Structure 1
Amino acid sequence: MTDFLIRPASDDDGDAIAALIAAAFSEYEGCVFDRAAEFPELDAIASHFSARGGAVWVAQGAGGVIGSMALAPTRDADAPPGGHEIFKVYVARAARRRGVARALFATALAAARAAGAPELRLWTDTRFADAHRFYERCGFTRAGAARECHDLSLTWEYAYRLPLPGAARHREG
């Protein structure tokens, strides 16, 4: 039994998701959280992902939002038609290793499959080693060289991919 609920996020959840991101960034030297400069979508997070054809979910615990994950069609030029990307994967430190990220991922995966996505993609900071292990346990594999983000944190990111066999056939009907 879990002590949290996965629910669609609303625009009002932007502050709670911002707090998750800021806390996660504080765990790594050199990670800078500047909401206004680099995360303006948090001001209307659900509307932002809805406008991109996606969705965002939060894990709600007794004390508030303890996790987040978003899904939208990818904008990567080399992505297969219908491919989707995962964003905003953050779990409060005290809530880690309790199945929160796994439950959020299951929700996003179900939505991607329902949309007929042939592949899931994501980009993750090269410093986030625990996240890399989680993604690999979920079946993702690292793809290609790291890219530089040219942001305040001087971030380099790894790409990860997860093929969704049969999804393209489902989408085409």
Structure 2
Amino acid sequence: MDRRAGVTDVTNIPIRPATDADGDAIAALIAAAFSEYEGCVFDRAAEFPELDAIASHFSARGGTIWVAEADDSVIGSMALAPAKDEDAPAGGLEIFKVYVAQAARRRGVARALFDTALDAARAAGAPEIRLWTDTRFADAHRFYERCGFTREGPARECHDLSATWEYLYRLPLGAAGHPQG
């Protein structure tokens, strides 16, 4: 066991669809991630009410949220649902709720979650995957770029408690559902 990571075997990270009961564990991931950045405010009731029924929330949107587990604990999350942005292509999908416990980072957890989402996007025949990410999350930006995403356009203001600005990242998929480029 790698005690620093709290992950026993990163070559075979268990990924499963989340249930509504995983909302508290996902909330803990988000709160911990936000605590790493000055000015990031985690207010579950005001800005994250979907965590009370997280799987149902994404199911109602036509999507899925997955969690990664180690030692019976949720150590990561990622969701995929139809994109709602006006400029998103028909059938385009969006990634949400990408969080990995700090002790489990750089161990392949985010990549395993992304590969799960990418497989689902391919199966759906999605023309692209997109996501919005806080401008402060530089490590996440590097991860998305390693996965083939490119940042596009100016940052948008979210008008939330954290005074968030977000970048758009896009990953066009080819006809066979493979990243283009």
User: Do the two structures share a fold, i.e. TM-score over 0.5?
Assistant: yes
Counterpart residue identity of residue 147, structure 1: R
How far apart, CA to CA, are the structure 2 residues paired with 1:152 and 1:167? Answer: 40
1:131 to 117, 140, 155: 140
1:144 to 153, 177, 181: 153
Give the RMSD, CA atoms, in angstroms: 1.1
Identity %: 82
How far apart, CA to CA, are the structure 2 residues paired with 1:167 and 1:105? Answer: 18
Structure 1: unaligned runs, 5 residues or longer: 169-173
Counterpart residue identity of residue 64, structure 1: S
How far apart, CA to CA, are the structure 2 residues paired with 1:100 and 1:148? Answer: 29
**In the TM superposition, what is the alpha-carbon distance from 1:40 to its structure 2 partner?**
0.4
How far apart, CA to CA, are the structure 1 residues paired with 2:14 and 2:151? Answer: 30
Structure 2: unaligned runs, 5 residues or longer: 1-8
Partner of 1:23: 32
Runs of 4+ in 1 over 6 A off after TM superposition: none
Partner of 2:5: none
1:27-51 Cα shifts (integer Å, max 9, x gaps) = 0000000000000000000000000
How far apart, CA to CA, are the structure 1 residues paired with 2:105 and 2:96? Answer: 18
**In the TM superposition, what is the alpha-carbon distance from 1:84 to its structure 2 partner?**
0.1
Instruction: Please state whether the residue corresponding to 1:139 is helix, strand or coil.
Output: coil
How far apart, CA to CA, are the structure 2 residues paired with 1:26 and 1:128? Answer: 12
Q: Normalization by structure 2: what TM-score? A: 0.91
Partner of 2:66: 57
Aligned residue-pair number = 168
How far apart, CA to CA, are the structure 2 residues paired with 1:4 and 1:34? Answer: 30
Give the 5 Å matches for 1:1-173. 1-2=9-10, 4-167=13-176
